Amino acid sequence: MTGDPAAFHRTLPGYAPTRLAELPALARRGRAARLFAKDESNRFGLPAFKALGASWAMHRAVQRHGGGGPTTIVTATDGNHGRAVARFAREFGRRARVYVPAGVPAAAVAAIRAEGAEVVAVGGDYDRAVRTAAADPDGLLVQDTAWDGYEEIPGWIVEGYSTLFTELDEQLAAAGAGPPDLLVVPTGVGSLLQAALTHYGRPTRIVSVEPDTAACVKASVEAGRPVTVSTDATIMAGLNCGTVSTLAWPLIRDRLDGCVTVSDAQARAAMADLAAEGVAAGPCGAAALAALAQLPAKGDVVLLITEGAAANPVALDRAQDRA
């Protein structure tokens, strides 16, 4: 690694560690000694953790080109990554072109445009949007998943996510806790999961959670090799991915302790439960709590609440209707 992502992030306007909330009532229900939520609902003013990876990767790319290079940053997104790329492309004096698959909430698309990006709608799923972005001849691709021949920039994105875990370690220590006994990670292509597996060794157990309509990690683990799965609509739009990142796969294969899937209904219920405890999670983040009911959770548990409710206001409205 060239440089320190956490030190870099501290130089950016608006940086502050996201909060770590302790949830004693939900800990009792989830059979945990202590339950913490790393709440990524406000990261650089954006409603998800993705800014950590996008900013570091673009910083490294600009360094690589000596401040020059392509003037347009290209990416595909199912929501939060594209908005983060658009925000930091502007900060670095670049334009952004963001390819968006079907099923991304209209509010998320509008938020990407509000950051100054050109948004290109792609019929089909996330994997198709990624292929379309990768074929764009006019810009620098900053994508948060890797495949054969495209791994350097996704690797930088994963490095950027390490800041989250640096903060988490400091916050747990301040709360009188050590490394978590169990870490639950909402998972799409597996890049955040890769960062978690890189940061934590034994005895921390790490479990992924995916939508039951888009479980590429679970399918790959069961097959013993990366497989692509067909996906269907889900309110967990940021996890609606059909192919695991090639960079993430070796760590997932060798180190992941478990894979869980949850339904939209379970994610909505978890959103309502978290909201009652003062954590305004979006459905992707709430998936971590939804998974806890399926796990033999003992000791200290950390849920990565990867997005806030503002990332998907329609899902929040439905969760509030349920509450």
Q: Which structural domain, as residue segments, surrounds residue 143?
A: 51-154
| Claim to verify: residue 191 and residue 223 sit in the same structural domain | yes
Residues 6+ apart with CB under 8 A from 9: 15, 52, 55, 56, 160, 163
| Claim to verify: residue 143 and residue 246 sit in the same structural domain | no
Q: For residue 82, give the CATH number of its domain.
A: 3.40.50.1100
pLDDT in tens, 231-253: 999 999 999 999 999 999 999 99
| Claim to verify: residue 226 and residue 166 sit in the same structural domain | yes
pLDDT at position 322: 37
pLDDT at position 278: 98
| Claim to verify: residue 43 and residue 81 sit in the same structural domain | no
pLDDT at position 39: 99
Question: Residue 79: pLDDT above 90?
Answer: no
Decide: 169 and 38 in contact? Cβ < 8 Å.
Answer: no
pLDDT at position 308: 96
Decide: 41 and 47 in contact? Cβ < 8 Å.
Answer: yes
pLDDT in tens, 98-114: 999 998 989 999 999 99
Among 136, 154, 172, give the residue marking a domain's end: 154
| Claim to verify: residue 291 and residue 186 sit in the same structural domain | yes
The domain tally of the chain equals 2
Q: Which two structure tokens, joined as six digits, stand for 93?
A: 């004096």
Question: What is the DSSP secondary structure assignment for residue 17, as one 8-state letter?
Answer: P
Q: Which helix (H) or strand (E) holds 37?
A: strand 34-39
Residues involved in catalysis: 50, 78
Question: Residue 317: pLDDT above 70?
Answer: no
pLDDT in tens, 4-50: 999 999 999 999 999 999 999 999 998 999 999 999 999 999 999 99
Among 127, 154, 181, give the residue marking a domain's end: 154
pLDDT at position 65: 75
What pLDDT band is residue 314 in, cutting at 50, 70 and 90? Answer: low
Angle at 205 between CA 199 and CA 209, to 5 degrees: 90
Beta bridge partners of 66: none
Question: Residue 90: pLDDT above 90?
Answer: yes
pLDDT at position 67: 64
